[in-house]
Amino acid sequence: MPEMPEVEQVRKTLAPKIVGSKIKKVEVLLDRIIKYPTVAEFIKVVKNKTITSIERRGKYLALHFSKDQFILIHLRMTGALLVMPKTETAPKYATVKFELENGLNLWFTDIRTFGTMHLITNKDVVIESYENLGPEPLSKEFTLEYLKEKIKKSKKPIKTFILDQNVIAGLGNIYADEALAVANIYPAKEANTLKAKEQQALYVGINQVIKQGIKNKGTTFRDYKDADGNKGSNQNKLLVYSRKGKPCKTCGTLLEGMKIGGRGTVYCKKCQK
DNA sequence: CTTCGTTCCTGGAAGC
DNA sequence: TGCTTCCAGGAACGAA
C-alpha cells in the first residue's frame, strides 16, 4: 500500500520520464477514477497540456501543468503509475492512459480501483482532505511541540491518531505500526495519556521509520511498484507489520495482532506499553 | 466539535 | 482438489 515513502519513490522515478512532455491523448478506461470534473471535461482540459512538474504532498501526487492547474492523484491501496513505451499493450488493471509526446505512455493501473484523480484548476474546487493535510514527517513544520499540542487534545487510540492525515500527512498502516514499535508504545493507548517521554519517542519513531522507508525505496507486499516497475526493499526491515506470530526482533516474544479502528495492528506485548 | 462504524473493490489466503 | 469465506486497507460518509 503506497504510503508517504512509496509515493515519494513513485514521484522520483516518474519525474525524469514525464516532466517536460506534452500529453497528446487521454483515455479513461474506468470512469469512477475521475472524481472531478466529468470525464469528458477532464479529457478535454488535460489534452495538449505539458507536465511542468510533479509534486508530492502526503500520499498525494500532483501532475502540474502550471502553478494552479494540476491533476491530483491518490493511489490508495493498489494504484500504480507506470511508464511504458507506446508500442507496449495495456498493462493489467489499467484505468487511465496518458499518451505522451515523447513516445511513452503513462498508465494508471489499479486492482482494487480505490485510486482517484481530480483535476484542479484555479481553486474552483476544494479537496478538503488535500487542503487540510497536516505537516509532513521530516519537515520543519513537524515539530515535537506541534505533536504534543495535538496529542493532548485527542482521545483516540494513538495509532488511529497518527493515521489521521490532518494531524500528520503520509503515515499509513505499515509505518504507523512501525513508528509505535520503535517508540515502544502500545498502539491502543489513548493519545492524551502519553507521557512526555513517550511523545518524544513517538516523534523520533515517526521520523525514523519514514526516513528508512524512503531510503529503502518503499515497502512492497503485494502490489506496490514504482514508475520503473521496481519493488521496494523496506519490507525486509520491518519490526512488526505483517509479522504477527513471529518473534519480536528485540525480545523474542511472539508478536500479537489486534484490530484498532478497523485496521489490522501488530505489536509486541512485552516491549510496547 | 469529535469519534466510530460502514462502505467501496479485488485477488489471494485460509478454511472446510 | 475445489469450492466458499474472509481479509487486506485510505478515506469519504453518515450516525451518534
Residue with CA nearest C1' of nucleotide B9 = A112
Is A88 designated active site?
no
CATH assignment of the domain containing A55: 3.20.190.10
Strand B lies under 7 A from the Cβ of residue A259: no
Please give the pLDDT value at position A100.
98
Smallest CA–C1' separation from A171, nucleotide: C10
Mean pLDDT of chain A: 94
Q: What confidence tens digit (pLDDT) does each residue in A108-146 have?
A: 999 999 999 999 987 777 888 999 999 999 999 999 999
Same domain, residue pair A124 and A220: no
Interatomic distance A30 CA / B10 C1' (Å): 15
Q: What confidence tens digit (pLDDT) does each residue in A30-85 have?
A: 999 999 999 999 999 999 999 999 999 999 999 999 999 999 999 999 999 999 99
Please give the pLDDT value at position A223.
65
Is A149 designated active site?
no
Strand B lies under 7 A from the Cβ of residue A262: yes
Interatomic distance A268 CA / C12 C1' (Å): 32
Range of the domain at A236: 144-267
Q: What is the share, in percent, of chain A residues with pLDDT greater than 90? A: 87
Same domain, residue pair A20 and A56: yes
How far is it, in rounded angstroms, from Cα A180 to Cα A229? 30
Question: In what helix (H) or strand (E) does residue A150 lie, and over which residues does it extend?
Answer: helix A144-151
Please give the pLDDT value at position A45.
96
Is A247 designated active site?
no
Domain count for chain A: 2
Residue A232 scores a pLDDT above 90: no
Is A35 designated active site?
no
Beta strands in chain A (DSSP E): 23-28, 34-36, 53-57, 60-64, 69-74, 79-85, 94-100, 104-110, 116-121, 256-260, 263-267
CATH assignment of the domain containing A259: 1.10.8.50
Same domain, residue pair A88 and A150: no
| Domain's final residue, options A131, A160, A189 | A131
The answer to whether position A272 is within a domain reads no
Residue A222 scores a pLDDT above 80: no
With a threshold of 0.85, does the pTM exceed it? Answer: yes
